[in-house]
Amino acid sequence: MQAARVRATVSTVSEGKTAGGDFQVRFWGVRGSIATPGPATARYGGNTSSIEVRCGKRLILLDAGTGMRYLGNILVAEAPLDTDIFFTHTHFDHVCGLPFFKPFFQPQNSFRLWAGHLGAGMTLHRVLREFMMAPLFPVPLGIFAADISFDDFHAGDTLRPHPGITIRTAPLNHPNGATGYRIEYAGKVVAYITDTEHRRDGLDADVLKLIDGADVMIYDASYTDAEYPTHRDWGHSTWEEGVRLANAAGVKTLVIFHHDPGHDDDFMDRVAIDAATARPGTIVAQEGLVLRP
Ligand SMILES: [Zn+2]
Ligand SMILES: [Zn+2]
């Protein structure tokens, strides 16, 4: 069923590597809901959602959790940057790294920030302005020196941020909404599907469209199926549902992502064994993981 596997390597944050060229994905934060520093989570990592995608010379960032700070510390050397940041949604764990992203303080950089989950009357600019506001935060959004623009779209739109890069989107099943992404570049597909809760009446048709034939499917697998009954309506899914979706859509490599803050490294090791048994080639995301579709 599976074709050639996606190449996967891991290097630590302290090695200071970014994803590099071609079509590559690097994980800077893999944790859901809240950062979980400490020895019990050191191997998989405690930083919240932050992913670097390289499409040739183009740099795309997915979400801006606490992992983004480490990426930013390295990216300052790549200025001037011209970069797109796509948000699944604006829950705190996906935006809290923004104010600590050093490239925002470099005037030679340009960023376009995209979100598709906000309804009428709300904009990404307003959400982030109100997030960086006293007394919740000491400095306002206007503190940034880089040129930053804000693009609101509708989940379901197809985006073409640059020649050769197509990004298809769809709404996910999450409180306050979220957007799933399907990034197509150089004949390959990376799908980023978090945060989302699976449907109880069958596989989610919107998700199936985004992951159809994908080389890499990054999926909100916060829970196991056994844990799920006590987490209904929390807006997250399970690794077993990820396997069902990946099998139905002919995905090459499933990547388990958005780890529950209560799941320590030993727990994730067990998930890794169970998931790879259920679907050989399945990977549990960890900080420093680099995938080359
Ligand atoms: Zn989240
Ligand atoms: Zn969320």
Rounded distance from Cα 277 to ligand 1 centre (Å): 26
**Spatial CA neighbour of 89 closest among 151, 177, 220:** 177
Ligand 2 center from residue 103 Cα (angstroms): 25
With vertex at residue 120, the alpha carbon angle to CA 154 and CA 200, rounded to the nearest 5 degrees, is 60
Q: What is the pLDDT of residue 202?
A: 96
CA distances from 176 to 79, 156, 258 (A): 35, 16, 17
Give the pLDDT confidence score for residue 10 in this predicted structure. Answer: 83
Q: Are 46 and 80 in contact (CB under 8 A)?
A: no
| Average per-residue pLDDT for the chain | 95
Name the 3-class secondary structure at 260. coil
User: In this predicted model, what pLDDT tens digit does every residue of 191-202 receive, in sequence order?
Assistant: 999 999 999 999
239-249 and 265-278 helices cross at what angle (nearest 10)? Answer: 30
Report whether 2 contacts 286 (CB < 8 A). Answer: no
In this prediction, residues 149-153 reach a mean pLDDT of 98
Q: What totals of helices (H) and strands (E) does the chain contain, helices first?
A: 6, 15
Q: What percent of the chain has pLDDT over 90?
A: 91
| Span from the CA of 175 to the centroid of ligand 2 (angstroms) | 7
- Residue range 76-85: mean pLDDT, rounded: 98
CA neighbor of 281 nearest in space, from 251, 236, 244: 251
Distance 252 CA to ligand 1 centre (A): 24
Closest ligand by atom to 173 CA: 2
What is the predicted pLDDT for the residue at 8?
87
Q: Which ligand is nearest to the CA of 175?
A: 2
pLDDT for position 7: 84
pLDDT at res. 20: 56
What's the N-to-C CA distance of the chain in angstroms? Answer: 17
- For residue 237, the CA-to-ligand 1 centroid distance in Å is 11
